[in-house]
Amino acid sequence: MKEIEKTLENKNVRPTAMRILIYKYMAEKKITFALTDIENAFIKADRTTLYRTLKTFEENGIVHQIDDGTGTTKYALCELGCNCEIEQDLHLHFHCSNCNETVCLTEHKIPHINLPDGYIAEDANLVLKGICEKCSGQ
């Protein structure tokens, strides 16, 4: 409780009741989630509020967006010490085609790629798709 408030304040985000709830939801969840997921978890909350809360969280380095190729944006809590407001943390993401869940593989960074002359890379997105550990039964 108090801890979450501190965390938010440290990131310059006012710890409102709503925001604390949302943060809690995210912290308990191990995998990534979509706006709709969180919307279903909190019947009370308005979609827009959740949307803007996540946006605020993102702008202040609390969560990061994930584009896993499903067409719906996913979010995940940033790791401790992740400073993705300043520079991107280019870890890869895995999307399971069986359970449809997307996970951050924060240990696995996107390898450096040599581009043709003239191309300047500033950002990268690598998504692997297949069967996750839970679904592969191992």
Residues in the site for Zn ion, rule: CB under 5 A?
Answer: 96, 98-99, 132, 135
Parallel, antiparallel, or unpaired for β 74-77 and 63-66? antiparallel
Binding segment for DNA (CB under 7 A), chosen from 23-31, 32-40, 97-105, 114-122, is 32-40
Coil, helix or strand at residue 76: strand
Using alpha carbons, list the distances in angstroms from residue 10 to 14, 20, 63: 9, 13, 14
Per rule CB under 5 A, is residue 104 in the interface with Mn ion?
yes
Q: Are 81 and 114 in contact (CB under 8 A)?
A: no
**Torsion angle of C-alpha atoms 9, 54, 105, 111, degrees rounded to 10:** -100
Map the footprint of DNA across residues 44-63, applying CB under 7 A: 44-49, 51-53, 56
Query: Site residues (CB under 8 A) for a second copy?
Result: 67, 69, 71, 92, 94, 97, 105, 107-108, 110-111, 113-134, 136, 138
Residue ranges binding DNA (CB under 7 A)? 13-14, 16-19, 34-36, 44-49, 51-53, 56, 71-73
